[in-house]
């Protein structure tokens, strides 16, 4: 019964699907393709370039944060190895969609010979090294997110919803979203810790083993226990024709302790002899502008809820940024006491409120971060956040509570006033 109530609430808040022939930012929809978590997907084309349009329709917080996180990559220069979004629209993203085989399909359909496997691993290492050089940790490496380019070209990496760039605000606040594929996730990610570039190295080790040995390095269920090392592979379990230095570097990548994993430069050196010339470091280059620093900026915390004052809060934050250098942390609190059905409607309205405001912030190049905290008591969570982050300015909508109601259930604004925050109310 409760699942049915949730489903009805989600369907009631979902946008209408796109029809074939409709256009989004000049991209013409050709047909609908299978959905993924949080998104409807459509095959599209613009100026003969194949594209994929994604339309957000979920009330899952991780799916929403992944959308907003991936949208930040749309502002970065295009690179031929990394298929991050080319642009965003009000309901989702537009991504490149080259017609290339997915590594997962190739692994399922055939086994690689030693030369082909080593070349494939070397091309993957080159692409990942370039991504890490740009300060980006992917955090969701698995065969489904890798496309094999023609001939000896680089492997293309897609799906940047969980990726993190050095210097960017982490929308998950240091916690770990659920891994995209637990078979390839690093141990620290499975334990709920924050992933980093060293986590990608563990995933790389699993991928390399899968390619070279035609199987995973351990049984799936063994990964759920702290006694994992007893199940790790022995070098002899790789094929006899795999070079010894490659065996050792793959084994090092699969160290459970992140401190024991090799540096990317050592991995590159081990696979360099097997890298085709077309996939070398000069084939593609990443020239990304450095992210802005928040060190010397005034810190602003803006509380956004799904009401008519939300657009004014975004406008006020942008006006502050026009007057001085600020870093804004937008905070939304999902109350714990909402019943089933009402909770889904609240989150749908919240995400519909946040999405256009955050898109405007990206367009205006505002330095900002985001926290969406679920199942909290807003009256207690808001003062705790003030103590944690110590903002110079706090923005919030003016409270409509008065009389006895304001004393029995004071709400966020009353609690912020009591804790002495430099509060600016938006009417």
Over 23-59, what HEC string results?
Answer: EECCEEEEEEEEEECCEEEEEEEECCEEEEEEEECCC
Domain boundary among 70, 96, 122: 96
In a shared domain, residues 61 and 192: no
**pLDDT at residue 129, as a whole number:** 94
**pLDDT at residue 231, as a whole number:** 46
Per the CB < 8 A criterion, the answer to whether 77 and 288 are in contact is: yes
Domain boundary among 96, 126, 142: 96
**pLDDT at residue 234, as a whole number:** 47
Measured distance CA(279)–CA(389) in Å, rounded: 45
Per the CB < 8 A criterion, the answer to whether 82 and 124 are in contact is: no
In a shared domain, residues 114 and 215: yes
Measured distance CA(389)–CA(303) in Å, rounded: 13
Q: Could you tell me if residue 160 is inside a domain?
A: yes
**pLDDT at residue 373, as a whole number:** 93
Domain boundary among 61, 76, 96: 96
Q: What is the model's pTM?
A: 0.89
In a shared domain, residues 136 and 187: yes
* Residue-number span of the structural domain to which 372 is assigned: 298-426
**pLDDT at residue 153, as a whole number:** 73
Q: Could you tell me if residue 286 is inside a domain?
A: no
Burial 121-149 (b: 16+ CB within 10 A, else e): bbbbbbbbbbbbebbbbbbbbbbbbbbbb
Q: Could you tell me if residue 288 is inside a domain?
A: no
**pLDDT at residue 27, as a whole number:** 97
- Under-70 pLDDT residues of the chain: 1-13, 150-151, 174-176, 219-238, 278-286, 399-410
In a shared domain, residues 338 and 193: no
In a shared domain, residues 367 and 234: no
Q: Could you tell me if residue 292 is inside a domain?
A: no
């Amino acid at each position: 019964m409760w699942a049915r109530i949730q489903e009805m609430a989600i369907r009631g808040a979902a946008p209408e699907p796109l029809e074939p022939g409709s256009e989004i930012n000049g991209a013409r929809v050709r047909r609908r393709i299978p959905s993924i978590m949080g998104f409807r997907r459509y095959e599209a084309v613009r100026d003969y370039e194949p594209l994929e349009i994604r339309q957000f329709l979920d009330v899952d917080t991780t799916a929403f944060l992944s959308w907003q996180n991936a949208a930040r990559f749309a502002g970065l220069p295009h690179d031929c190895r990394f298929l991050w979004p080319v642009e965003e629209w009000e309901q989702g993203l537009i991504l490149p969609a080259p017609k290339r085989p997915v590594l997962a399909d190739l692994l399922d359909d055939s086994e690689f010979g030693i030369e082909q496997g080593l070349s494939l691993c070397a091309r993957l290492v080159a692409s990942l090294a370039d991504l890490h050089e740009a300060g980006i940790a992917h955090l969701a490496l698995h065969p489904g997110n890798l496309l094999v380019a023609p001939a000896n070209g680089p492997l293309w990496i897609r799906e940047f919803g969980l990726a993190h760039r050095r210097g960017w605000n982490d929308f998950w606040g240091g916690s770990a979203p659920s891994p995209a594929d637990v078979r390839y996730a690093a141990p620290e990610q499975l334990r709920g810790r924050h992933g980093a570039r060293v986590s990608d190295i563990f995933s790389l080790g699993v991928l390399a083993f899968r390619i070279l040995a035609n199987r995973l390095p351990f049984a799936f269920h063994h990964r759920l226990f702290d006694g994992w090392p007893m199940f790790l592979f022995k070098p002899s379990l790789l094929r006899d024709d795999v070079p010894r230095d490659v065996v050792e570097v793959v084994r090092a990548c699969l160290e459970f302790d992140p401190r024991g994993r090799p540096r990317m430069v050592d991995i590159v050196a081990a696979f360099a002899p097997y890298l085709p010339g077309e996939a070398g470091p000069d084939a593609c280059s990443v020239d990304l502008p450095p992210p802005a620093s928040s060190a010397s900026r005034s810190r602003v915390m803006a509380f956004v809820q799904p009401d008519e004052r939300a657009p004014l809060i975004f406008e006020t934050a942008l006006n502050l940024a026009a007057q001085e250098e600020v870093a804004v942390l937008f905070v939304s609190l999902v109350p714990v006491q909402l019943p089933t059905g009402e909770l889904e409607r609240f989150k749908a309205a919240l995400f519909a409120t946040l999405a256009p405001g955050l898109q405007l912030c990206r367009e205006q190049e505002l330095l900002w971060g985001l926290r969406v905290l679920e199942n909290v008591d807003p009256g207690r969570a808001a003062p705790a956040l003030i103590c944690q982050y110590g903002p110079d300015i706090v923005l919030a909508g003016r409270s409509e509570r008065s009389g006895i109601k304001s004393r029995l259930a004071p709400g966020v604004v009353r609690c912020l006033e009591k804790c002495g925050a430099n509060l600016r109310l938006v009417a």
